[in-house]
Structure 1
């Protein structure tokens, strides 16, 4: 089946976005720790503070988006603003050491204002132009292509950074410029999407996104509870992984790229499997399997600081990352009614912002109180508990589908 023009535009914009972001995003912790001398507290803020800014953006975000006649144009403007602010990191090394680390924290936080709006508008736009029956196959294909690109770019940039001194800012500045170039390509292909524009009556007042009406839709509420629990548990370890790999295991830029490449390779190899079994057993049931696999990552990382071992664990984790990334988004669209979908997605992202701020701070707090090994083991247990919430919902809401799938398999 040939791809429609919208699907092609989405794949090309996603490809450019992947190249742009992976040119430098994965090395922000190395830039912060190795070049700017960031503290553990600043590392935690780099991870968590953007969520608060994103939350503030979502307060008016759904209102603005509902008023916008073209969701595509809204997505284009906010995406360009996000990428432009990210490029400002280029100038940070020109400032003094103490100030530069705080400037990085500030810019990373600030760019999440348009970034949250861009994410909200893209999710809403793509949910309208890609039919539900095509989403599983299309997004698995799109994600696989993006993962292949991320794999190549990540390894290439890691090798590039390895040619320079660990405390040199020059290679990061080169990558930022290259990333901005691909960001412009991303914006160009976003403009190529075709949407149906509905002219709204002047008297129509868009609903504010914080309406409690969205919580009356049971499939959405069930998904929301599970997704927030999972994201809290998952994001507790984000800063800790970077600190452990760089400070404890002594990973260089090349090793960080190898970790990412093996993780992305696993995603590429497994993405079709997740889409296939989600169609058969339901998103929520398969999300339980993916989330349970993710729960093992923190504890497994603590077994050794050997870089080859950590590489193998990143491959293992990548298998489950592919499932959670694909299925969480698909389930969000499925659980959100088509009418006023922007409100449902905005509520999800708004609440996710609270989680995104609190979870990394909680992770750093546990790290400071209990040490790296205990903190990671605690987080694994919390992650496993969150995974079982998906199982509970699946058994309650998708029993018939699961029973039919297993009956067909074993009859």
Structure 2
């Protein structure tokens, strides 16, 4: 009974913590490209670095973080301290507008990049931490509820931020300074709820000959095949992120309000579909539903290119949100499914290190396509690659299904 109460309390605290995390991301990260283009006058390549540089720095952070985390008996306080340091960077970003104009864009990009060093620690340890305290049979329901609540809060906050930005000239830095400082304040509340989680103490046995990068975990075929599928999908998915921002701001002329409306529309699509994805993953498996996610995500860039009409782009973002929710839920659940309690931390570390590498090169590849061809060709290629990633998930599903059948037969044979 006490364990059940602890689990329920941890889930409640995690939802509250996630709400403030969402507020921080919506207030800060969502408006980094608009701030860089409209206020700091950043170039396309500099805007691309906003997405890729943090991931490049994050790779090194995750290598170091994986060594530390795999030796921790308790991960909570390490997660708390890492988040705190990451949130301090928001204060520095808010002060960028007070340095000479010619240095503003590059200093902003460097700060955004460096912020991902402690944030990578935080994200890595949080994933391992939450995987330890949330029971496997509760994950789909809990994460769908948590993601839904976070998305609702994010939608409402983003809408009001958009209205707030409308009261200022597009190139006025004042509202952004206010927002980044507010994000730091929310970070303190985020940490407050994170610290209240109850964490079981685990005895960690460190093997002397453990590989620095945990290469041995790739001998686990379910994890290896998932890694290959997920990385290809993430490359196709993330190469288009910065292209959407450039298309919306430079080609469609979106202001802060419209950027907010796009985010709100995307959130609406996520909210109405979270529970559905959770039910379908329980019924059909995560791998099988990721095939559908790939197809849906492929349609998003193709739909976007149909028109620069801002109202139409709002509708497009609602459609995209239906599949973003599935992407977030299914990828994380599938990652947990192909790991065990013994190797989960090292598997998550390796996954995030490789994901960071993909997240570094993907936006730069997207910008390269934009500069060498045009926005239409670049986004069409992204759509095609997103669709093709469904082939990888299809073979992953077949492998896991066949493996599940073999395991079942072995168990019956022993009986």
> Structure 1, residues 152-194: CA drift from partner, whole Å, max 9, x if none?
0000001101110111110011111111111100001110111
TM-score by length of 1: 0.94
Aligned equivalent of 1:373: 376
Say which of 224, 237, 241 aligns to 1:238: 241
Which SS does the other structure have where 2:70 is aligned? helix
- Once the two structures are TM-superposed, the CA of residue 251 in structure 1 deviates from its matched residue by 0.3
- Once the two structures are TM-superposed, the CA of residue 199 in structure 1 deviates from its matched residue by 4.8
Matches within 5 A, 1:243-392: 243-392=246-395
The answer (yes or no) to whether the contact 1:67–1:206 under 8 Å persists in 2 is no
Instruction: Give the 3 Å change call, closer, same or farther, for CA 175–350 of structure 1 in structure 2.
Output: same
Q: Tell me, which stretches of 5 or more residues in structure 1 are unaligned?
A: 403-411
The answer (yes or no) to whether the contact 1:63–1:207 under 8 Å persists in 2 is no
Say which of 106, 119, 123 aligns to 1:115: 119
Aligned equivalent of 1:37: 41
Aligned equivalent of 1:408: none
Find out whether 1:168 has 2:178 as its counterpart.
no
Aligned equivalent of 2:410: none
Say which of 219, 226, 231 aligns to 1:228: 231
Which SS does the other structure have where 1:398 is aligned? helix
| Distance in 1 of aligned mates of 2:51 and 2:223 | 27
| Distance in 2 of aligned mates of 1:304 and 1:45 | 27
Q: Tell me, which stretches of 5 or more residues in structure 2 are unaligned?
A: 406-415
The answer (yes or no) to whether the contact 2:267–2:321 under 8 Å persists in 1 is yes
> Structure 1, residues 31-73: CA drift from partner, whole Å, max 9, x if none?
0000000000101111101111000011121111122232001
The answer (yes or no) to whether the contact 2:96–2:107 under 8 Å persists in 1 is yes
Which SS does the other structure have where 2:201 is aligned? coil
Aligned equivalent of 2:408: none
Find out whether 1:193 has 2:197 as its counterpart.
yes
The answer (yes or no) to whether the contact 1:209–1:347 under 8 Å persists in 2 is no
Say which of 2, 23, 28 aligns to 1:19: 23
| Distance in 1 of aligned mates of 2:296 and 2:134 | 29
The answer (yes or no) to whether the contact 1:16–1:182 under 8 Å persists in 2 is yes
| Distance in 2 of aligned mates of 1:33 and 1:51 | 20
| Distance in 1 of aligned mates of 2:208 and 2:149 | 40
- Once the two structures are TM-superposed, the CA of residue 395 in structure 1 deviates from its matched residue by 2.4
Aligned equivalent of 1:393: 396
Say which of 177, 183, 195 aligns to 2:181: 177
Find out whether 1:97 has 2:101 as its counterpart.
yes
| Distance in 1 of aligned mates of 2:90 and 2:323 | 29
The answer (yes or no) to whether the contact 2:23–2:183 under 8 Å persists in 1 is yes
Aligned equivalent of 1:58: 62
| Distance in 2 of aligned mates of 1:206 and 1:346 | 18
The answer (yes or no) to whether the contact 2:270–2:325 under 8 Å persists in 1 is yes
> Structure 1, residues 117-141: CA drift from partner, whole Å, max 9, x if none?
1011000000000001000000000
Which SS does the other structure have where 1:296 is aligned? helix
Q: CA RMSD in A?
A: 1.7
- Once the two structures are TM-superposed, the CA of residue 87 in structure 1 deviates from its matched residue by 2.6
- Once the two structures are TM-superposed, the CA of residue 26 in structure 1 deviates from its matched residue by 1.1
Which SS does the other structure have where 2:302 is aligned? helix
Aligned equivalent of 1:409: none
Instruction: Give the 3 Å change call, closer, same or farther, for CA 16–264 of structure 1 in structure 2.
Output: same
TM-score by length of 2: 0.94
Say which of 143, 146, 159 aligns to 1:142: 146
> Structure 1, residues 285-338: CA drift from partner, whole Å, max 9, x if none?
001101210011111111100001111100000000000000101111111121
| Distance in 2 of aligned mates of 1:140 and 1:310 | 26
